[in-house]
Amino acid sequence: MWFFARDPVRDFPFELSPEAPEGSPPGPWVLHRGRKKATGSLVSIFVYDVKPGAEEQTQVAKAAFKRLKTLRHPNILAYIDGLETEKCLHVVTEAVTPLGMYLKARVDAGGLKEQELSWGLHQIVKALSFLVNDCNLIHNNVCMAAVFVDRAGEWKLGGLDYMYSAQGNGGGPPRKGIPELEQYDPPELTDNSGRAVREKWSADMWRLGCLIWEVFNGPLPRAAALRNPGKIPKSLVPHYCELVGANPKVRPNPARFLQNCQAPGGFMNNRFVETNLFLEEIQIKEPAEKQKFFQELSKSLDSFPEDFCRHKVLPQLLTAFEFGNAGAVVLTPLFKVGKFLSAEEYQQKIIPVVVKMFSSTDRAMRIRLLQQMEQFIQYLDEPTVNTQIFPHVVHGFLDTNPAIREQTVKSMLLLAPKLNEANLNVELMKHFARLQAKDEQGPIRCNTTVCLGKIGSYLSASTRHRVLTSAFSRATKDPFAPSRVAGVLGFAATHNFYSMNDCAHKILPVLCGLTVDPEKSVRDQAFKAIRSFLSKLESVSEDPTQLAEVEKDVHAASSPGMGGAAASWAGWAVTGVSSLTSKLIRAHPMATQAETNVPQRPMPEGHPAPAPTPLSATSTTSDRWETQEDKDTTEDSSTADRWDDEDWGSLEEAESVLAQQDDWSTRGQASIAGQVSPPEHKSPESDWSNWEAEGSWEQGWQEPSSPEPPPEGTRLASEYNWGGPESNDKGDPFAALSVRSSTQGRSRPSWHGKSVRTGGGRWRPNAQRRRQPRAP
């Protein structure tokens, strides 16, 4: 019976890379790249081949093997596994690169920053302090060949071959016998008289000075070159000179050297070192300290090395969220670090955390997730969005906090392309309907209309036919002026989704009613839209063969490419937090005056100012045009009617519709809508391409960087005498017309009827005089 001896190298759970050795530093070891057979994770493998007649070197290698296995410190090379046979020694450590090779590679890429070098040297000095002060060990081999760098850019101290005890119980220092290593020995070691008085750390601190010189100046040619600091930073030179002084007694202890370098103005006193020190002790920090640290971390990440952010900061952020209850404060730095990751790494590390965050009930976390959604939306697949993200996001539509409702609506711009049929065309439309009709915040109602226009291309053909016309018509009856403008521009942005019959019988009648709106901005956009729709109808009338081409998108399936017109209208930013709506909400928490009274302009000279007409909540839900459509249209409109009966929503960022508008937050203004100042009238364009090129949406919804003072001579709404003596200013002839009076749904004033003077000194057309609504 035959027995075969097992090969321990073959059974070793790690294998060498087929590539050439990564480095062969001075000493008995050869460094190879390797990987773990089971997982494929990268490691470094130090290999020593036992040779006949080299017993001394073999003993040195075995001693280093033992030391590395027993010493554990964050700044000392981490031991993973090892193999000892009669022919070889294998020591497996974390994946590292020799410092010399690392510096050379970084020089080709622009070199290391001073803050990176300061932290690297800090780590080596800290490792020496641990050995000398805590373990009573002398490293005896501090040089460039004994320092390694991991994937995060952390410097690790290795080369433990010649280490010995400072207490002398293990004998003296071992003989090196390698000239490349002996050149770093201090000069007092050549004094055999023993008269030189030195500390136990004196020799290692001299070698540390040699290492500092080589880091900044390259390989050390001879010991005499240490007298010239060369490229060593000025803040480090005084402390460097202490290390390479001829008197070993004055060389500082490693701990004191760190204190000196971290003093104000010192070489190691910078944000990068402070961040690393905090991360090393983050587990014992107070929650308030962690919150402050993560809040300030985002500002510094741009100046930190990419490898450091990926491999050191990111794990700490994930751990802080998972186990440290850090909350929403980790989101900003987390997404900033995520930019350094590949798509595969992002899916593995960031997305699981993001999905878990969406289920949180913390409002701060929810709103920050919504604000920063564009940073990770491209990494979310459709099943994840529909099953794990959207069900949690829709709760924001019902939140009592207006800011969360606003951000939830904005997020739909990014989520809509990934939503399935049920979530997009049914669930989302229900929430939009409720928000647009019943939300108490005018800006939120306005921006819901904006969002609907932008996602119109993703809706199915039946949903577009059922929803768009009715929703935009409802917006044109909103007491909030920017909402009415949004309704007009919503029609314009989705013009390719309407048939010619709908344009003539449904859309143009609604737009014509806005030509007498008290707000000039609304009238301007209405006239512009009317001309555009009329030109479209006229072109088909002149050439009926164009009908198929014009209506090609009406019954087309949903497609992102069809939203070209909607892509450039409505310019509020998805990621930015709108301060405008916050101001509106703070200044008008219930939006009573702004949304129940239509703003009135001063009457012309000689005419008394009309009293504001009160608007009830129900007056916006019905209109003459809807009633007329029900009478004239033979098709079934019950679905559209149900849409009108549902609630619609709003968004926080109801930026002024005009670029020259007054600051919304100006104190002393009477109401939200009353603060809109008329813009300069621009010549309308009938061409749709000109409509988009003019950039009215982009200009209208972006919040200006700083409030501009009103033009000279402009009066605030609060300065007008609304019910007192007659004003001398020449007013707008349309100001006497109420936009949303409840009587307009039953009878519309005749432009050709005679006006009579009624009680109270107000001029009203006959139709309005016959039916005066009672004051609420």
pLDDT at 580 over 60: no
Q: Which of 8-22, 380-394, 571-585 has the highest mean pLDDT?
A: 380-394
Q: For position 730, what pLDDT does the model report?
A: 40
Task: Find out whether 372 and 413 touch, Cβ atoms under 8 Å.
Answer: no
Task: Find out whether 673 and 455 touch, Cβ atoms under 8 Å.
Answer: no
Beta strands in 323-379 (DSSP E): none
Amino acid identity of residue 630, one-letter, is D
Query: How does pLDDT run across 6-17, given as a tens digit for each residue?
Result: 566 677 888 887
Q: How confident is the model at residue 290 (pLDDT cuts 50, 70, 90)?
A: confident
For CA atoms 538, 544, 549, 554, give the dihedral sign.
Answer: positive
Q: How confident is the model at residue 23 (pLDDT cuts 50, 70, 90)?
A: low
Query: How does pLDDT run across 226-246, given as a tens digit for each residue?
Result: 999 999 999 999 999 999 988
pLDDT at 144 over 50: yes
Query: How does pLDDT run across 59-114, given as a tens digit for each residue?
Result: 888 988 999 999 999 999 999 999 988 888 999 999 999 999 999 888 877 778 89
Q: For position 26, what pLDDT does the model report?
A: 67
Tokens (6 digits) for 623? 């209109």
For the segment 457-465, the average pLDDT, to the nearest whole number, is: 91
CA dist 656 to 176, 409, 446, 526, 591, Å? 79, 18, 11, 17, 16
DSSP assignment string, 543-603: -GGGHHHHTTTTSPPP-GGGGHHHHSS----SSSPPHHHHHHHHH-SS-HHHHHB---PPP
3-state DSSP assignment of residue 693: helix
CA dist 359 to 351, 370, 388, 537, Å? 13, 13, 8, 50
Tokens (6 digits) for 192? 């055999």
For the segment 153-162, the average pLDDT, to the nearest whole number, is: 92
Amino acid identity of residue 46, one-letter, is F
* Listed residue (569, 471, 485, 473) closest to 527, CA to CA: 485
Task: Find out whether 615 and 741 touch, Cβ atoms under 8 Å.
Answer: yes
Contacts of 403 (CB under 8 A, 6+ apart): 367, 577, 581, 582, 585, 652
CA angle 365, 368, 370 (to 5 degrees): 110
**C-beta atoms surrounding 585 within 10 Å:** 20
Side-chain half-sphere CA neighbours of 641 within 13 A = 11
3-state DSSP assignment of residue 221: coil
The angle, 0 to 180 degrees and rounded to 10, between the axes of the packed helices 579-587 and 442-454 is 150
